[in-house]
Amino acid sequence: MRVYLVSRHQGAVEWMQHMGHHYDQHLTHLENYNDLSAGDVVVGSLPINIVADLAQYGVSYLHLSLYIPEHLRGIELTAEQLSSLDARLEEYEIRRVVKTSL
């Protein structure tokens, strides 16, 4: 089992280290799923469709969750700011549901 941190944000990388969360490899982008195996864990703030893909491969997902106030949206947050916003890792189980119409 390997743990992948997927984030382009340096503050998230520093927050993970500051909080003592272990990961084996940091990726700025999840290019493909070729290196992932069932039992691996991906940590990040990924779109739901990618999380559904990971579940199909048997890969667990931990979401870096936080509520960002409007005045902080669109800027790079530091590890300290993430902590002050009560950032946390939350596990999600997502499954894709196929519907043909609304």
**Residue linked to tokens 């700011």:** 81
As a whole number of angstroms, the distance between CA 14 and CA 23 comes to: 12
Q: Which CATH number fits domain 3-92: 2.40.50, 1.20.1070, 3.40.50, 3.30.70?
A: 3.40.50
By three-state DSSP, how is residue 56 classified?
A: helix
The model's pTM: 0.91
Local confidence pLDDT in tens for the 102 residues of the chain: 999 999 999 999 999 999 999 999 999 999 899 999 999 999 999 999 999 999 999 999 999 999 999 999 999 999 999 999 999 999 998 988 888 777
Token pair of 61 as six digits: 């997902």
Structure confidence at residue 99 (pLDDT): 82
> Dihedral sign, CA of 12, 15, 19, 22?
positive
**Residue 92 β-bridge partners:** 61
Six token digits for residue 52: 């559904």
